[in-house]
Amino acid sequence: MSLKKFFAIFACLTFLIVSLSCKKQEEKTLKIGAIFSVTGGASFLGAPELKTAQMLVDEINSKGGLNGVKLELIAKDSSGSPEKAISFAKQLIEENKVFAIIGPSTSGETMKIKSICEDAKTILISCAAAEAIVNPVAKYVFKTPQKDSYAAMKIFEVMKKKGITRIGVVASNDGFGLAGKGQLEKIAPLYGVKILIGEVYDKKSTDLTGVLTKLKARKVQAVVNWSIVPAQSIVAKNMRQLNMKEPLFQSHGFGNIKYVKEAGKAAEGIIFPCGRLLIADSLPDNNPQKKVLMKYKKDYESKYGEEASTFGGHAYDAVIILAEAVKKAGTDREKAREAIESINGLAGTGGVFNFSDQDHNGLDLDSFAMLTVKNGKFVQYEDK
């Protein structure tokens, strides 16, 4: 072996050893797994969620971490597939040995990995809406978005005040639509509301005048549409074209200004429940959420140049809940889990979180505000 070669190898080895030992010194990082559907059909959820989580983790690290512990986000794109979510969850738990997992974006994925995380004693903070995620309560599983049933209750509260008792429900033929329709049907009797017609439509529907004509003939007093698909705008347009003057209620899926733009003038007066992010500017200063909402909106919009959405907010809440727990209890999983259950009055983007060992969502009915569309903008709905 020539001297040159020997030196080259020696240099390589030294470099390797040095770099290895460097890694050892950095072991104070806390690994957080993230499973979001960044691409695919649910990309409107996963993409802002990942961006938000990354932004917040970077911010925490730039401030010196949590009590000196830096965070490392290991992100996986499940593209909305439960199978991928399962294998990523296993990988994160067994190979990466993560401290906690945030996500997944959709309820179907979350339900599939709920027991995996529970068995591995790994904290899971889901960004999906379904009630079944936290009911029954699993020790290690939490979620940040508001419950479907709260959205339905909020809608019925407004109906009660308006004296509406006979309604028609249309929903998209997918997980979100069917779950929402189920909640509406379950809760309607409690508010004395009768659902005269409940129909589901294909999520690619482009014309709903037929079913709306049927609702019109039954003289419903209001229409509720529950979906996250573009048909949300089509329902509004079709109703106005049929000269239906009845109020249109939508689900929290309508909380995206692009649907308002598509529906144009027909969007005016649509009433729907939503987190307060969309009306952050107009909240009174004494609202406990005002500060965190304004900060998230400003940070996200200046960093990514696109409008912040309530969906990204769910990831924001997941990270701040986790951060709060680590600050309080350190990096012991069991203690951190208990710390989450003891969180009280933590203002997030979705509402003010009050966890307990029975409540792993931590939000109450008030976490939804009723919004309406006025002059092409979201504003708080006020009873007339």
Partner 1 sequence: MKAAYQTPPSCADHNDMSFEQCFQYILSGVTNGSIYAIVAIGFNIIYNTTGIINFAQGEFLMLGGMTAVSFASIMPLPLAIILSVAVVSIVGVLIDMIFIRRMKKPSILNMIIVTIGLSIMIREVALHVWDEKVRSLPYFTGNEVTSINILGAYISPQVLWVLGVCGVIVLFLGLFFKFTLTGRSMRACAANITAARLCGINTRNMVTISFMLSAAIGALAGCVISPITQTQYDSGAPLAIKGFTVAILGGLGNSTGAVVGGIVIGLLEAFSISVMPLAYKDAIAIAVLLVILFVRPRGLLGKREEAGLKEF
Figure out which of the listed residues 201, 249, 272, 355 binds partner 1, where binding follows CB under 8 A. 201
Site residues (CB under 8 A) for partner 1, limited to 6-65: 43
State the residue for tokens 């037929």.
Answer: 210
State the residue for tokens 């996200």.
Answer: 300
Binding mask 173-192 toward partner 1 (x if CB under 8 A, else -) reads: x-------------------
Least distance in angstroms from the C-beta of 260 to partner 1: 11
d(CA 12, CA 28): 26
Helical (H) or strand (E) element with 215 = helix 209-217
Figure out which of the listed residues 28, 218, 291, 335 binds partner 1, where binding follows CB under 8 A. 218
Q: Between helices 310-329 and 333-341, what is the axis angle to 10°? A: 120
Q: Is residue 87 a contact residue for partner 1 (CB under 8 A)?
A: no
Nearer to partner 1, 178 or 347 (CB): 178
Site residues (CB under 8 A) for partner 1, limited to 135-174: 170, 173
Q: Is residue 331 a contact residue for partner 1 (CB under 8 A)?
A: no
Q: Is residue 199 a contact residue for partner 1 (CB under 8 A)?
A: yes
Q: Is residue 381 a contact residue for partner 1 (CB under 8 A)?
A: no
Rg for the chain, CA atoms, rounded: 24
Could you list the beta-strand ranges (E) of 210-287: 222-226, 248-250, 271-274
Instruction: Please provide residue 311's backbone torsions phi and psi, each rounded to the nearest 5 degrees.
Output: -65, -45
Nearer to partner 1, 126 or 250 (CB): 250
Cβ contacts of 59 within 8 Å, gap of 6 or more: 299
Site residues (CB under 8 A) for partner 1, limited to 97-116: none
In 3D, which of 218, 174, 166, 234 has the Cα closest to residue 200?
Answer: 174
Figure out which of the listed residues 38, 56, 224, 266 binds partner 1, where binding follows CB under 8 A. 266
Nearer to partner 1, 139 or 214 (CB): 214
Nearer to partner 1, 122 or 238 (CB): 238
Figure out which of the listed residues 87, 241, 344, 356 binds partner 1, where binding follows CB under 8 A. 241
Count residues binding partner 1 (CB under 8 A): 37
Least distance in angstroms from the C-beta of 215 to partner 1: 10
Q: Is residue 354 a contact residue for partner 1 (CB under 8 A)?
A: no
Say what the alpha-carbon torsion angle 156, 157, 159, 162 is, to the nearest 10 degrees.
170
Nearer to partner 1, 83 or 207 (CB): 207
Figure out which of the listed residues 152, 263, 318, 340 binds partner 1, where binding follows CB under 8 A. 263
Distances, alpha carbon 46 to alpha carbons 42, 126, 224, in Å: 6, 12, 26
In 3D, which of 84, 69, 2 has the Cα closest to residue 36?
Answer: 84
Nearer to partner 1, 59 or 202 (CB): 202
The 10 Å CB-count burial string (b at 16+, else e) for 264-299 is eebbeebbbbbbbbbbbeebeeeeebbebbeebbeb
Nearer to partner 1, 240 or 314 (CB): 240
Q: Tell me: cis bond preceding 136? Omega within 30 of 0 counts.
A: yes
Nearer to partner 1, 23 or 245 (CB): 245
- Parallel, antiparallel, or unpaired: how do β-strands 123-126 and 100-102 relate? parallel
Figure out which of the listed residues 69, 86, 242, 279 binds partner 1, where binding follows CB under 8 A. 242
d(CA 202, CA 267): 21
First to last CA, the chain: 91
- Binding segment for partner 1 (CB under 8 A), chosen from 200-208, 304-312, 361-369, 376-384, is 200-208
Nearer to partner 1, 219 or 291 (CB): 219
Residues at the contact surface with partner 1, assessed by CB under 8 A = 43, 170, 173, 194, 196, 199-202, 204, 206-207, 209-211, 213-214, 216-218, 230, 233-234, 236-237, 240-243, 258, 262-268
